[in-house]
Amino acid sequence: MAKISHKPIRMCVSCRKRQFQDNLVRLQCAEGSLEVYKMNGRSFYLCKDCIDEEKKVLKSLMRQCKSGDKDKLMNKLKEIITDDGKS
């Protein structure tokens, strides 16, 4: 009998869909700035579908980061995604 491995399931804060953790991007807000999760503090997940839809994800980012600076959050998110694609 084959061994069944466990894959963690997490929820996207924007669309509230549950997916495997491998399909989500883990982020955190530190001092009002959006960052990739650095192993300390609270974090949240965004699915790749929601990241493509700026209007949809913006409200969730503002809620998570408790920030009203829309342009700063979206620019930082785009920067994180493009850096993630290069790695």
Q: What is the DSSP string of 7-22?
A: --EEEBTTT--EEEGG
Closest CA to 25 of 52, 7, 5: 52
Q: Quick one: pLDDT band at residue 85, thresholds 50, 70, 90?
A: low
For residue 6 the two structure tokens come to 């466990």
Pick the CATH number of 9-86 from 3.40.50, 3.30.1230, 3.30.2030, 3.30.1380: 3.30.1230
Euclidean distance between CA atoms 18 and 15, whole angstroms:
9
- What are the sequence ranges of the domains in the chain? 9-86
pTM over 0.85, yes/no = no
What do you get for the CA distance between the two ends of the chain, in Å?
37
Which amino acid does the sequence have at 50?
Answer: C
- 34-78 pLDDT per residue, tens: 889 988 888 999 998 888 887 778 888 888 888 778 888 888 888
CA-based R_g, the chain, Å:
14
